[in-house]
Amino acid sequence: MKDMHGNGTWLLLIFAAACVAAMLFLLYLTEAGRILHERIPDRPRRRLLIAGASFLITFIGVRLAVVLAYYHVPPFGWVTIGGMHVHHLVWGILLLLVSGYGMVAEWGTRATPLSLLASRLVSIFYGVGAALTLDEFTMWLNIRDSSWTFQGRESMDAVVVFAALLAAGAWGAPLWTKRPHKPRRHNHAGKPVAR
């Protein structure tokens, strides 16, 4: 298969950006967004619907792009970085990690416009990431076992970096922000009460 050296990378990025832009356009600048918000007031169900639509659009688009790349239809090609073929499974996993972190960190759970945007972005990223990952499901169990080879070390490095990001989000943020002092509670006898 002929390698298009970078075309696939740009097309994948453009496609992902176009999916996100299209979903946000539908949700913010059309009647569909208002109807969605009114008819499905439950945030988890809205998030699931948005993720499902993003999943379906991405899956169809990626399947089409892969078929066109396989048959060498310009400008489609394999995603390569530094001469190495990067499967779209990788981008899917990265989006799942970002959206999963956003869900755990409760991005988009307030009632502000910015929070609503964050909620919708997390849902879109989850749907896109799931489609990219599941499209290459056959690779999940058919990858060579390379846990302790030089290339396998990269996996360990990725785990350490992600664990550090989780730890920084969980423990670091409260340590770096100044919290207002809460007065101690006292019982009716005037003694401090343990919290």
Domain boundaries, the chain: 7-142, 149-173
pLDDT in tens, 55-68: 888 888 888 888 88
Predicted local confidence at residue 178, as pLDDT: 61
- The mean predicted confidence, pLDDT, of the chain is 76
Q: 147 pLDDT exceeds 50? A: no
| Rounded mean pLDDT, 88-101 | 91
Residue 1 confidence class, pLDDT cut points 50, 70, 90: very low
| Rounded mean pLDDT, 98-123 | 90
> What secondary structure does DSSP assign to 106-149, as a single string?
TTT-SSSHHHHHHHHHHHHHHHHHHHHHHHTGGGTTSS---TTS
Q: Which of 67, 59, 72, 80 is nearest to 15 (CA)?
A: 59
Cα–Cα dist 151/176, whole Å: 36
- The span from the first CA to the last CA of the chain, in angstroms, equals 65
